[in-house]
Amino acid sequence: MTPGPGRLVLLGRPTGHSLSPRMQNAALDAAGIALRYEATDLPRRALDETFASLRRDRAAGNVTIPYKEDALARCDRLTPVAAATGAVNTFWTAPDGALVGDNTDVEGFRRAFGTLVHQARGRRVLVLGAGGAAAAVLLAMKGWDASAITVYARTMARGESLIHRLGVAASLAIDPSEPARSSDIVVNATPVGMHDGEMPLDPALLLPGTIVLDLVYRAGETDFVRATRARGCQASDGLAMLVEQGALAFERWFGFAPDREAMWNALPERR
């Protein structure tokens, strides 16, 4: 890994809501690194040209919705975890000029929510979504020893492909209502919830005491987190995961851990 990237970027569409630039620039300042982390709102037609320029600039950075799977196909090498999830959220330029793709969402999820889910043994888990974020969650759950895992996917083929690729013992649901009523842990791994009035699931389906992990984050928390907490659920948004996966990405780029306190302090609503 090159110790000093020429550029640091976030690729996605849209990126205006992202807190990653504030968080990563705070970490760069704390480390005394004279580099800026910049968000790029990237149209799909510019993907090939952009990845070519990243190689030329010996860049590093992150990838967010909707390009995590596109980035996987455009990297020259993949870490085992990126290959397993089928999605890249972190990349850097190696000394030989190759673009290396990684996925820090897996360990970021495990670290962020490990304190919330103290014991998953014997519990029933519902994962909403079948994209790159859901893949990261399912891979992280392999050591949770849950009694049952159900994946909700809008299309059967996409859900079946995800479960088969990861080799996880999970069932598939095209309607989340029934598993939601009996689940002990619910993870929203879809982008639904970024805007007012959006919810990935009717909160009324969940029993009080259900642990809700919403990977979406926004100022004031998501409507889903607030509504499920009002029902007596133990709910948390994706802010902790954002910090943890971002800290791991920083470590990949520079070879040392960032100042997590500085990263948290840069966020508008520090938990």
**Whole-structure pTM value:** 0.91
Give ranges for CATH 3.40.50.720 in the chain.
107-237
- Is residue 68 among the annotated active site residues? yes
- CATH of region 8-103+242-265, choose from 1.10.150.120, 3.40.50.10860, 2.60.40.1180, 3.40.50.150: 3.40.50.10860
**One pLDDT digit (tens) per residue for the chain, 271 residues:** 445 899 999 999 989 889 999 999 999 999 999 999 999 999 999 999 999 999 999 999 999 989 999 999 999 999 999 999 999 999 999 999 999 999 999 999 999 887 667 666 678 999 999 999 999 999 988 877 778 999 999 888 999 999 999 999 999 998 999 999 999 999 999 999 888 889 999 999 999 999 999 999 887 899 999 999 999 999 999 999 999 999 999 999 999 999 999 999 999 765 4
* CATH architecture assigned to 107-237: 3-Layer(aba) Sandwich (3.40)
Give ranges for CATH 3.40.50.10860 in the chain.
8-103+242-265
Task: Tell me which of 25, 62, 68, 101 is the catalytic residue.
Answer: 68
**Spatial separation of the C-alpha atoms in residues 109 and 140, rounded to whole Å:** 7
**Spatial separation of the C-alpha atoms in residues 165 and 134, rounded to whole Å:** 12
**Spatial separation of the C-alpha atoms in residues 94 and 125, rounded to whole Å:** 38
